[in-house]
Chain A
Amino acid sequence: GESVGLHLPTLSVQEGDNSIINCAYSNSASDYFIWYKQESGKGPQFIIDIRSNMDKRQGQRVTVLLNKTVKHLSLQIAATQPGDSAVYFCAENSDFGAGGTSYGKLTFGQGTILTVHP
């Protein structure tokens, strides 16, 4: 029988190209954002983070851009390599709690599959 399920957004690039992965978040009160990389059968790995008081942050070969006006986050990977092939998740942190105690909670996006062709 036919299986039905969600299909993640996909991005295919050639080795050496730049990649841009996008993410829309939902909570305007979110104050901290993280990008994770997940390889098949493994747990997510931290790539880069950004606070809500910034609009750009750079790491090694990666840049995260934050547009709070439209609640949009992007991850740019420079000179993409085959080892970058993975699923990429964005996560937003928002505070919640009651009685004067606040806790942070991460909410993960659906993910984007990045495939890099040699």
Chain B
Amino acid sequence: DGGITQSPKYLFRKEGQNVTLSCEQNLNHDAMYWYRQDPGQGLRLIYYSQIVNDFQKGDIAEGYSVSREKKESFPLTVTSAQKNPTAFYLCASSIEGRGTGGTHNEQFFGPGTRLTVL
């Protein structure tokens, strides 16, 4: 089955610890994204990657880091510098990130990871 997987589903972290969230896709998509969702709110973009070995900051990148060493994987590290990390984290991918005339940017989402800081 093709799709996006995120692990773990629930994650608990002590204050001051770094934690890494996994995101894997077997859709052969070039672009991958990380979003944060807080209760009762929409999605906010943390980081995105258009191709392997390249990634860009989104709207709320402070306190987060990513890597894109393989096309199918885009792990997100929540560092101790993130002051309010408790949230629902969503990973997504799209065929390509380019938005040039007529290109879709439909993003497919994983099931999410709920991170709680204790």
Contacts and interface: CB of A to CB of B under 8 A. Distances in A.
Interface in B43-90: 43-45, 48, 50, 90
A79 interface: no
Contacts, number: 74
Contact of A106 (B4, B50, B103, B107): B107
A44 B44 CA distance: 13
A89 B42 contact: yes
Given A42-B111, A45-B109, A103 B97 contact: yes
A95 B100 contact: yes
Contacts of A31: 99
B98 A104 contact: yes
Contacts of A7: 40
- Interface residue range, chain A: 20 to 34
A89 B44 CA distance: 12
A103 B33 CA distance: 13
Interface residues of B, number: 30
B2 interface: no
A90 B94 CA distance: 17
Contacts of B98: 101-104
Given A5-B40, A89-B42, A43 B100 contact: no
Interface string B86-118: 000010101001111011111111111010000
A115 B42 CA distance: 18
Contact of A44 (B45, B90, B94, B103): B90
Nearest to B37: A38
Interface of B: 4, 35, 39-45, 48, 50, 90, 92, 94, 97-100, 102-112, 114
Given A32-B105, A103-B50, 5 more contacts: A34-B106, A46-B106, A101-B98, A108-B44, A111-B42
